[in-house]
Amino acid sequence: MSIRPIDVAHIDGGPQWVEAVATPSGAEVWWDEPRPHEGGRRCVVRRLPDGSRVDALPAGWNARNRLVEYGGRSWRPLPGGGLVFTNWADQRLYRLGENGGDPVPLTPEGPSRYGDLYLPPGRGEVWAVREIADVRDLVAVPLDGGPVRVVAKAQHFLMNPRVSPDGRWVSWIGWDHPNMPWDGTELCVAPLAGDGTAGPYEVVAGGPDESVSQAEWRDDASLYAVTDPTGWWNVHVVPLDGSPGRNLTPLELEFGAAAWKPGLTCLAVAEDGRLAVVYGTADHRRLGVLDPETGELRELGGAATHWSSTVSVAGGKVAAVKATPYTPLEVTLVGLADGAHEVVSPRKDLPDRELLPTPEALTIEGVHTHLYPPSGVRGPGPYVIFAHGGPTGNLPVMLDLEIAYFTSRGIGVAVVNYGGSTGYGRAYRERLRHQWGVVDVQDCAKVARGLVELGRADAAKLAIRGGSAGGWTTVAALVHSDVFAGGVAHYAITDPESWAAETHDFESRYLDGLVGPLPETRQRYTERSPLLNAFRASGPCLMLHGLEDAIVDVSQAERFTAELDRHGKEWALLTFPGEQHGWRREETVVAVLEAELAFYGLIFGMETPGVPPLTLKGRE
């Protein structure tokens, strides 16, 4: 038996945002979930205190947005049971009444995008970061209709708007090019005038070399800020009067996350003043409750190995999203007092437990790795190195049926959190500074060779795969090492200089830190470019790309495969209409997995029954 591709499609992804709401009858929980069988839309779901669940978003509506292209917080429940959300099709804000009906638009048609939604108490407005082309501001939108009001214009990028308990102050987090939000951000506070606009702001934490990833008001005179002056995202108290702050969690653990999607939360303030926190490392993300007065940190996570970067508290309950190596991402209510867990999202039909691999944590030459052994293989077997995207990201320890799809067919997987990954502190992230295409490639090769030396992997049957930045690492490893028999690159960057010129604003200066500023370091771009070194490829390459990808244009794949073809290398390119940067449709997930398996069958000399054949150009 083996995992079916349709199983992967049905369990792929999970809730992005959760929110707990206290009601007289008990805690309600709201979340959004992917619906691959409904065209890949994200549906908001409401779980009532009696345990019943309803879709809060009607069919045909999709609670997503394109803020910084990756999307920010896309919905909020309204008092009384209504919903405000951004709709993918037109990027407008809509309100849905508590009794359902048709959503009502709150913003005009046009080029604006809205994300990182926030409901300031008692104002009858939803606040959001608005993006028009490459200009962003913080705006307020009346819930009963009316013109959009600009609250603040500040840095080039904005996120995390919050109003103080007394309504006199507004805070946000901002940063400017060339920084990314994990490099350096500023926590800003400004007085809020009677007309609802912000006055001149003051920077109270952060800077060019300090990353504030989240901030919440502690009281009218101070904030809790998740920031990393120590090299780790810890929880700090930041007073407004300029007096010294205080690190509440002086630990070599991460209490924050890279802000790829504005609106992520690893900290929530409970009614009694305690803090629900998501923290740990990429090897084990925990849920806990922190007493800010005593510093006591009590774990609430139970057997879960991963908690997502979204957390909310109401009525003595924490709403969060957990996973284990054998269970998918699940919305869970956790009691602050007793730590009791209640899974509130629908249980998913899972494959037999015997088909799911047990991960093994390894460190090979200082590189963090999670090993998933192949089923039914004795002695050295075929292995695929999984390189994550970002590259400022990681792959956590949790059920991933994409991995199980391969291990159940006798192909092992080694997940490599190479230098530059999050979850291990700033110093580990900074290993990739100016070294993208070098350190990531070397770390993946180290792990592959280490598995051979340990007798786990067959040196002739090693492959590498990844998506986005992981796709870059895949093609870079093919042309800059001789370790891999082939690679599979999902929506990959193949030429850094052209990508920097054609990509979206959010990442347009990302390579300043990953490779170096242009034009001063152009030689590095030339030397590391897989496109310009395609003639060196150590094996065949399968490229997979969505035709609506606004982050990495399909031309990156087309130009690279053209170069492979020109130099007589073996390759295949599959493109998918209607897909953006990542796979969301059921039929695409199935097609991609089957093509990837067929590719491994070709390069490893394995039978792959039940999947359509794949033809490699140059092998006909």
Q: What's the pTM? A: 0.94
Pick from 539, 518, 513: which is nearest to 619 by CA?
A: 539
- Quote the pLDDT of residue 153: 97
pLDDT in tens, 165-217: 999 999 999 999 999 999 999 999 999 999 999 999 999 999 999 999 999 99
Tokens for 161, please give them.
Answer: 């708007």
N-to-C CA span, the chain: 32
- Identify the three-state secondary structure at position 443: helix
Residue at 366: amino acid letter = G
Place of tokens 């093609």: 475
Contact 311, 320 (CB under 8 A): yes
- pLDDT tier at 480 (50, 70, 90 boundaries)? very high
Q: What are phi and psi of 525, to 5 degrees?
A: -60, -40
Does 1 score more than 90 pLDDT?
no
> For the purposes of burial, counting CB atoms within 10 Å of the CB of 142, is it exposed (0-12), middle (13-18) or buried (19 or more)?
middle
pLDDT in tens, 55-82: 999 999 999 999 999 999 999 999 988 9
Contact 502, 553 (CB under 8 A): yes
Would you give the distance in Å from CA 26 to the centre of its chain?
31
Which residues, in sequence order, are bridge partners of residue 275?
Answer: 269, 290
- Quote the pLDDT of residue 137: 98
Distance CA 538, CA 463 (A): 10
- Quote the pLDDT of residue 376: 87
- Quote the pLDDT of residue 251: 98
pLDDT in tens, 108-142: 999 999 999 999 999 999 999 999 999 999 999 99
Query: Of how many residues is the chain composed?
Result: 620
Contact 83, 100 (CB under 8 A): no
Q: What's the mean per-residue pLDDT of the chain?
A: 96
Pick from 396, 321, 411, 306: which is nearest to 357 by CA?
A: 411
Which residues, in sequence order, are bridge partners of residue 277?
Answer: 267, 288
Q: How far is CA 91 from CA 124, 138, 248, 292, in A?
A: 21, 16, 39, 39
- Quote the pLDDT of residue 342: 96
Distance CA 213, CA 155 (A): 15
Distance CA 326, CA 394 (A): 19
- Quote the pLDDT of residue 487: 98
- Identify the three-state secondary structure at position 296: coil
The shares of helix, strand and coil residues in the chain, as percent rounded to the nearest 5, are 20, 35, 45
Does 427 score more than 70 pLDDT?
yes
- pLDDT tier at 13 (50, 70, 90 boundaries)? confident
- Identify the three-state secondary structure at position 399: coil
- Quote the pLDDT of residue 303: 94
Which residues, in sequence order, are bridge partners of residue 219?
Answer: 222
pLDDT in tens, 358-413: 999 999 999 999 999 999 888 899 999 999 999 999 999 999 999 999 999 999 99
Distance CA 133, CA 551 (A): 14
pLDDT in tens, 533-581: 999 999 999 999 999 999 999 999 999 999 999 999 999 999 999 999 9
- pLDDT tier at 620 (50, 70, 90 boundaries)? low
Distance CA 166, CA 16 (A): 30
Q: How far is CA 589 from CA 5, 521, 585, 592, 610, in A?
A: 7, 38, 6, 5, 16
Q: What is the DSSP-derived secondary structure letter of residue 78?
A: P
- The sign of the dihedral angle between the CA atoms of 381, 384, 385, 388 is negative
Question: Which is it for strands 125-132 and 246-247: parallel, antiparallel or unpaired?
Answer: unpaired
Q: How far is CA 437 from CA 318, 384, 398, 469, in A?
A: 41, 19, 27, 10
Place of tokens 């850094």: 496
Distance CA 193, CA 601 (A): 65
- Identify the three-state secondary structure at position 105: strand
Distance CA 417, CA 371 (A): 11
- Cis bond leading into 58, ω under 30°? no
Residue 454, CB half-sphere, CA atoms under 13 Å: how many?
A: 16
Helix 439-453 vs helix 469-480: crossing angle, to nearest 10: 70
Distance CA 214, CA 161 (A): 10
pLDDT in tens, 256-268: 999 999 999 999 9
